[in-house]
C-alpha cells in the first residue's frame, strides 16, 4: 500500500524510482483484497503489484528506505548494519504529533477497518517523507562544469 500511494504522489516525476520489499515477505504475492479495493477507490491500480523480500542490493541502491515499524528497522539493522544510514521509520517525519514515531498498523489478517487505519497513517506520513527526501537528496544535473 505504501509503495503504491507514494508512487501516486510522485507520478510523472522522472527523478523518483519507487519500490517496496518486506523483511519477511514471500516473493510474488499480490496486494491483499482490502488493499486493492481501497486503492482502487482512490484511482490507483494494484493489479500489477507483487511482493518481494528485501535484499542487500535493494538497500545499497536506495537513497532512502522507509520501514513500517521499529521491528522492521531492527531486522534491517541485523541484516544490513552498514546500510542503516539510509533507513527511517515511515512516520518519523509525520506532521501529525499523534502518529509521529509510531509503527504503522500491519493489517494482514484483520478486517477492512485495519486497512483503512493503515491507509490513513500512510496518507498522513507520506507527504513528510517526500519533503524529507526533497531536502536530503542532491539534484542530478547534466550541466557542464564551469571552466
The answer to whether residue 142 scores a pLDDT higher than 80 is: no
The answer to whether residue 147 scores a pLDDT higher than 70 is: no
**pLDDT of res. 24:** 87
**pLDDT of res. 145:** 45
| Euclidean distance between CA atoms 32 and 27, whole angstroms | 14
**pLDDT of res. 4:** 96
Number of residues that this document lists for the chain: 147
| Euclidean distance between CA atoms 96 and 90, whole angstroms | 12
Query: Mean pLDDT for the chain?
Result: 92
Q: pLDDT tens-digit profile of 86-102?
A: 999 999 999 999 999 99
Query: What's the CATH code, domain 2-134?
Result: 3.40.50.2300
Amino acid at each position: 500500500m505504501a509503495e503504491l500511494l507514494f508512487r501516486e504522489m510522485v507520478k510523472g516525476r522522472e527523478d523518483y524510482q519507487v519500490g517496496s520489499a518486506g523483511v519477511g515477505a514471500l516473493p510474488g504475492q499480490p496486494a491483499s483484497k482490502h488493499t486493492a479495493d481501497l486503492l482502487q477507490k482512490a484511482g490507483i491500480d494494484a493489479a500489477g503489484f507483487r511482493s518481494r523480500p528485501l535484499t542487500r542490493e535493494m538497500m545499497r541502491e536506495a537513497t532512502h528506505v522507509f520501514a513500517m515499524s521499529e521491528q522492521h528497522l531492527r531486522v534491517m539493522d541485523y541484516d544490513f548494519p552498514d546500510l542503516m544510514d539510509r533507513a527511517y521509520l515511515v512516520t518519523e517525519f509525520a506532521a501529525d504529533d499523534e502518529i509521529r514515531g509510531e509503527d504503522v498498523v500491519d493489517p494482514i489478517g484483520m478486517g477492512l477497518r485495519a486497512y483503512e487505519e493503515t491507509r490513513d497513517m500512510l496518507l498522513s506520513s507520506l507527504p513528510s517523507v517526500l519533503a524529507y527526501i526533497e531536502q536530503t537528496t542532491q539534484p542530478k544535473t547534466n550541466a557542464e562544469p564551469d571552466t
